[in-house]
Structure 1
Amino acid sequence: MHSDNVGKSRWRFSRRSLLATGALGLTVPAVGAASALAPSHPARAAGTVRKVTVYAEALPGNLYGYGFERGKATVPGPTLEMYEGDTLEITLVNTTDQRLSIHPHGVDYSTDSDGSPFNASFNAPGETRTYVWRSHEMTTASAGRRFMPGSAGYWHYHDHAMGTEHGTMGVARGLYGALIVRRRGDILPDKQVVVVFHDSQINNRSAPDTPMFQANLGERIEWIAIGHGNLFHTFHLHSHRWADNRTGMLEGPSDPSITIDNKDLNPGSSFGFQVLAGDGGGPGAWMYHCHVQTHSDSGMSGIFLVRNADGTMPPGAQEAIDRFHNHVHSAAHEGHTG
């Protein structure tokens, strides 16, 4: 099951999204897969241990996915979030007949939570196992004149055990998702989008069947872009720009971060940013795609639909969507299904 759902209110409760402070919590809907989001003004001390259960399941179309509930797995899987200093305990329930795991980027973990067969860290078929991911804040070094970075960033997680010792089959078939570590005080979005470039597909789909993400004019949208597979990619978003730094936003008039609308997205890499939907270009059907031309031609493109502020369809948008669906997209590579 793929996920393209659009959240309509930032503080609505949803079964698809879960605040991972225990079994229940405040929820924030997302554009794309479900999200475990932290509150914008956390009323708790640093170092909180959060617990969440994730189910790995077989899906139609020879795919696999992660989900917060049985029967609710998606491609990509749920977006997992934490603040610097928090610990995330993930109980992974393997409901499949395949060996698999969950391996993170960007956070701290011991060898038994590595998610790698190299460290005997995986779920056998039908097995339940808990993985512990830790994070830390920025620290000073060199008498306070330099700083060691903390964990904050747009990261990702994925299988590392299905098919090969490196999980090549699991990643190719959809066992991946976004992992966000926030610095306290970071601005939270109204909605989220997760885009995964894998070989010649986006979220394991090819155009015209790639996800169409939607937002209303002026909403704050957070994009998380992830690369997998074996090919070089670049990510381009039409009519929107962001700062090339940790958050995608400038910290002030003297912030030296350059403004971009295109960024390399290669296997194992990830980045994120926030934009105001339609800022500068207005409402409409805007394309996102890989800017490697042969990849775009072969199906690595999709639509970011910015509706009017009241949610109505802007003039010309439906016609643009229809033209996109009627475009001739050459067949995408099929190597990912091997």
Structure 2
Amino acid sequence: MDKHAQTGWLQKLVTRRSVLATSTVGLAVPAVMTLGAAAPGGSAAQAQTGVVKKITMYAEYLPGQTNNYFIGYGLEEGKPTIPGPLLQIYEGDTLEITLVNKTDQRLSIHPHGVDYSTESDGSPLNDSFNAPGQTRVYTWRSNEMTAAEGRRFMPGSAGYWHYHDHAYGDHGTAGLLRGMYGGLIVRRRGDILPDKTFVVVMDDQRINHKKAPDTPMFEANLGQRVEWLAIGHGNLYHTFHLHAHRWADNRTGMLEGPSDPSRVIDIKDLNPGTSFGFQVIAGQGVGPGAWMYHCHVQSHSDSGMSGIFLVRNADGSMPPGAQEAIDRFHGHEHKPAAADTAPPPGEPATQGHAHHN
């Protein structure tokens, strides 16, 4: 174990939620690991300090492939996913990951937003990686905000982060291309907990390694508190836009009072290696329906970087017109606009948007 994890306050272990596996429709990831008690519907996070959570993750080729190209992380052997499991802890807690490499390639797991030693860096620079078939332990620590001089504070670890391979193909480039990434959330005690969390990874011109119409359809009922975690990878910049919903551009997406200066937005830049998150109330002020999420770089959206956020009625039933919208989305031919459709300089663009049913 990382020697830095052996501090006195970490010896108090408390009851925490175990690893959950779910196949719920619309979830961005099929498994969630979280610490502490979490109640739905806008309750506050309550957990003690000093939790050490030990989990085992497996890096494996996705089943059903003929070329063993795509690789994912999983909490169970034989069940890798893209993205990998969503990991959640509270500030002050430690996550100890035993990574089992089930492939014939060098790989690792590297986090953003938390503390770790060089042994847990996940980079070949520090000789921190799994050789083919090797098992290795990575220790990630988090800390709470602390007071500093001059009425200032040093930030804690709370935030919307992510993890990824950093060893397959020099700096992990080959690992990312093959799907080795996932979401990491560090919560502050007292944070409002969501009913659902969705992870959207924009990697080159794909969302969660898919292009429309095969991108994830995320689902919630009207009035549910929904959390989004957006992550950028690859070599292109993107913008994440969610139709009919907006959030505050701060750590949580919620305003902390009438004088909170945070901008209220419905679109945000998402560049390689960046991540952010926010919470919204599904359908608040607009009602249920099939709402689009997509990259607002037009050529990226045209090429298939879009998906559906389905807000059902409060009772879970399908709202009028939603199924028809979903059918149109699946029948639409997603491809870049043809060069000959672009208007000459100084002339307005022609109207129209073809769908193929």
Normalising by the residue count of structure 1, what TM-score does the alignment of the two structures yield?
0.88
> How far has the Cα of 1:25 moved from its partner?
2.3
Aligned partners of 1:22, 1:291: CA distance in 2, in Å?
43
Per mean C-alpha deviation after superposition, the further-off stretch among 86-95 and 37-46 is: 37-46
CA RMSD of aligned residues (A): 2.0
Give yes or no for contact 1:101–1:116 (8 Å, CA) kept in 2.
yes
Q: Counterpart of 1:322 in 2: which secondary structure?
A: helix
Correspondence 1:161 to 2:157:
no
Aligned to 1:216: 221
> How far has the Cα of 1:221 moved from its partner?
0.7
> Aligned AA for 2:82?
V
Aligned partners of 1:43, 1:179: CA distance in 2, in Å?
18
Correspondence 1:35 to 2:32:
yes
> Aligned AA for 1:310?
D
Q: How does 1:175-324 map to 2 (within 5 A)?
A: 175-324=180-329
Aligned partners of 2:274, 2:233: CA distance in 1, in Å?
8
Aligned to 2:18: 25
Counterpart pick for 1:116 among 120, 123, 134: 123
Counterpart pick for 1:81 among 81, 84, 88: 88
Aligned to 1:150: 156
> How far has the Cα of 1:78 moved from its partner?
0.4
Unmatched runs of 5 consecutive residues or more in structure 1: 1-19, 333-338
Q: How many residues align?
A: 311
Counterpart pick for 2:74 among 67, 78, 83: 67
Per mean C-alpha deviation after superposition, the further-off stretch among 60-69 and 239-248 is: 60-69
> Aligned AA for 2:32?
S
Give yes or no for contact 1:89–1:131 (8 Å, CA) kept in 2.
yes
Counterpart pick for 1:48 among 38, 48, 51: 51
Give yes or no for contact 1:28–1:37 (8 Å, CA) kept in 2.
no
Aligned partners of 1:268, 1:21: CA distance in 2, in Å?
33
Aligned partners of 2:14, 2:206: CA distance in 1, in Å?
34
Unmatched runs of 5 consecutive residues or more in structure 2: 1-12, 39-43, 338-357
- Aligned residues: percent identity? 71
> How far has the Cα of 1:45 moved from its partner?
3.3
Deviations 1:190-211 (A, max 9, x none): 1110000000000000011111
> How far has the Cα of 1:47 moved from its partner?
1.9
> How far has the Cα of 1:23 moved from its partner?
10
Give yes or no for contact 2:14–2:48 (8 Å, CA) kept in 1.
no
Aligned partners of 1:195, 1:222: CA distance in 2, in Å?
11
Normalising by the residue count of structure 2, what TM-score does the alignment of the two structures yield?
0.83
Q: Between Structure 1 and Structure 2, whose CA radius of gyration is higher?
A: 2
> How far has the Cα of 1:121 moved from its partner?
0.3
> Aligned AA for 1:107?
V
Give yes or no for contact 1:21–1:50 (8 Å, CA) kept in 2.
no
> How far has the Cα of 1:331 moved from its partner?
7.1
> How far has the Cα of 1:147 moved from its partner?
0.7
Deviations 1:277-336 (A, max 9, x none): 11111100000000000000011000000110111100000100011111111179xxxx
Give yes or no for contact 2:299–2:336 (8 Å, CA) kept in 1.
no
